[in-house]
Structure 1
């Protein structure tokens, strides 16, 4: 079976993989010990007051065990801590540490620079249209 490299599915998938590979390589080049998935996880943790593993799994659209592996690595590196819930002792909130926040800021600078590079030759109007189309496609897929 021949792969249609012009199909939307192929283009989306290969673009996402290329962007993740690019950011992972640049994190490594900058001496930042973080994978693109872990970067995304830290970014989520800074945008939410309280995060538990199941919430993170839902947001990242990954299974809980994959999230647990990332959290374990981040905790081992000192970038997150698990905090007991005040009401339900079985619940552990994942909280970003100061070291995690500092690392995230460095990663955000790397990502911003990569976005400037990756958006070269794309007008603001094209980008706005692209975002609208992606939003509509996502909305249709979730129906």
Structure 2
């Protein structure tokens, strides 16, 4: 199989994978035993409590994958499940104080990585890149 390593899809996929691996490695090196995806869940929950299906929709992941992440975060004491006051079948996922602290530590590492990774990239190039990403996402969702 001939793979064009300069193709858009190959470059995009391998860049995303490299960024995730970098983040996961830095989290582990700093004793933060969560994944980048679990960090994203904490980030969402820091803005508002949510139910599992809402998280799955936001993350564009299946509900069972999100449930596994939530289970792990709950086992670490970073989130709790709270019964809905109206519909007892619904469980709200709420970030704990420990979860908020973990999120702060993760954000410090992500900010360091972002600073390192954006080295030698102009503000103009970054703005164009973000604009293209937005258009790609919009086109893919049509």
Query: Is the pair's TM-score, using the shorter chain for normalization, greater than 0.5?
Result: yes
Q: List runs of 5+ in structure 1 lacking aligned partners.
A: none
Q: Secondary structure at the match of 1:94?
A: strand
For residues 52-89 of structure 1, the C-alpha deviation after alignment (integer angstroms, 9 at most, x for no partner) is: 11111111111111111110010011000000001100
2:65 is matched with which residue? 66
Question: 2:53 and 2:5 mapped to 1: Cα distance?
Answer: 35
Q: Give the superposition deviation at 1:7.
A: 1.5
What are the residue-to-residue correspondences of 1:67-106 with 2, within 5 Å? 67-106=66-105
Q: Is 2:117 the counterpart of 1:118?
A: yes
Q: Aligned-pair RMSD on alpha carbons?
A: 0.8
Q: Is 2:41 the counterpart of 1:22?
A: no
Q: Give the superposition deviation at 1:33.
A: 1.1
What are the residue-to-residue correspondences of 1:39-54 with 2, within 5 Å? 39-48=39-48, 50-54=49-53
Q: Secondary structure at the match of 1:90?
A: coil
Q: Secondary structure at the match of 2:15?
A: helix
Question: 1:63 and 1:142 mapped to 2: Cα distance?
Answer: 17
1:9 is matched with which residue? 9
2:131 is matched with which residue? 132
- Aligned pairs, number: 142
Question: 1:4 and 1:11 mapped to 2: Cα distance?
Answer: 9
Normalising by structure 1, report the TM-score. 0.96
Question: 2:140 and 2:69 mapped to 1: Cα distance?
Answer: 28
Question: 1:57 and 1:108 mapped to 2: Cα distance?
Answer: 22
For residues 20-70 of structure 1, the C-alpha deviation after alignment (integer angstroms, 9 at most, x for no partner) is: 10000000111111111111111111122x311111111111111111111
Question: 1:99 and 1:84 mapped to 2: Cα distance?
Answer: 20
